[in-house]
Structure 1
Amino acid sequence: MRIVCLDDNSLIVDITTALLEELGHDVLPSLHPDHALDLLRTSPAPIDLLITDVHLGGGVDGREIARSAQRIIPGIRIICFTGDTELSQFDDGWVVLRKPCTLGLLEQAIDQTAPCRRPFPLRAR
């Protein structure tokens, strides 16, 4: 799967990218929302999934970036990392992961990014 990974924290991007690559995915890391959206617009190969933090620096909302991504690539899958507890803030079909999450939860989230009716949090077993 080809994935854009967006977070304003370089350590989070580096770790998440390494974990995703360990799972066999092709990852395009990004620290800036505009860069992530440019990757979505210009990638020579189709992008399947956007993983984004909800609270990006400078007051940027990752949910708005996810909605923009869906306008650029209809049907793109979305995973949001958040510490929030209110799930009504997320769109249908998005998978929501609470920080911090394990490699197992991340892998499960990727498997569950197929369209669904309501966003749902994944919890450790």
Structure 2
Amino acid sequence: MVILVVEDDFLIQDLVQGALSEGGFESEVASSGEEAVTLLQGDENNYRALVTDIHLQGALTGWDVAKRARELNPDMPVIYMTGAGADQWPSHGVPNSMLLQKPFAPAQVVTAVSQLLNQTPPPHE
């Protein structure tokens, strides 16, 4: 069960990956929206959830990445992370997503992922 983490700040990448690992989740990191979309579209990767920063380097935002993830998997849980941009969540965020305001405690990421995964039907084999 791999969680895709999209974050361009290496310190936050480490924080989120460490928290997910302690919570029993495997994760893979993309540092741009473009890289994340490439990974999501790859057949070999079956991601169970997406944790994405909203403001990313490059042309694609976290909003864009989440919309593409949902086109590929309508049930994929999405957790947004942001320092500024929470006010845009109601208009840009995908349904059944969560938003974590930076700074947040690492445990909050694990809690958010677990809550959304518990509400999501398992993928069809």
TM-score of the two chains, using structure 2 as the length reference: 0.80
Structure 1 residue ranges without an equivalent (≥5): 116-125
Partner residue, 1:8: 8
How many pairs were matched up? 115
Query: After superposition, where does 1:34-113 map in structure 2 within 5 Å?
Result: 34-42=34-42, 44-58=44-58, 60-83=60-83, 84-86=85-87, 87-89=89-91, 90-113=93-116
One-letter amino acid matched to 1:35: E
CA shift, 1:45, in A, is: 4.7
Judge conservation of contact 2:50–2:76 (CA < 8 Å) in 1. yes
CA shift, 1:74, in A, is: 2.4
Q: Which runs of 4+ in 1 moved over 6 A?
A: none
Moved more, 39-48 or 93-102: 39-48
RMSD: 1.8
By relative contact order (CA 8 Å, sep 6+), the higher-ranking structure is 2
Judge conservation of contact 2:19–2:110 (CA < 8 Å) in 1. no
Question: 1: CA distance between counterparts of 2:115 and 2:22?
Answer: 18
Judge conservation of contact 1:40–1:73 (CA < 8 Å) in 2. no
Question: 2: CA distance between counterparts of 1:76 and 1:10?
Answer: 24
Identity %: 26
Structure 2 residue ranges without an equivalent (≥5): 121-125
TM-score of the two chains, using structure 1 as the length reference: 0.80
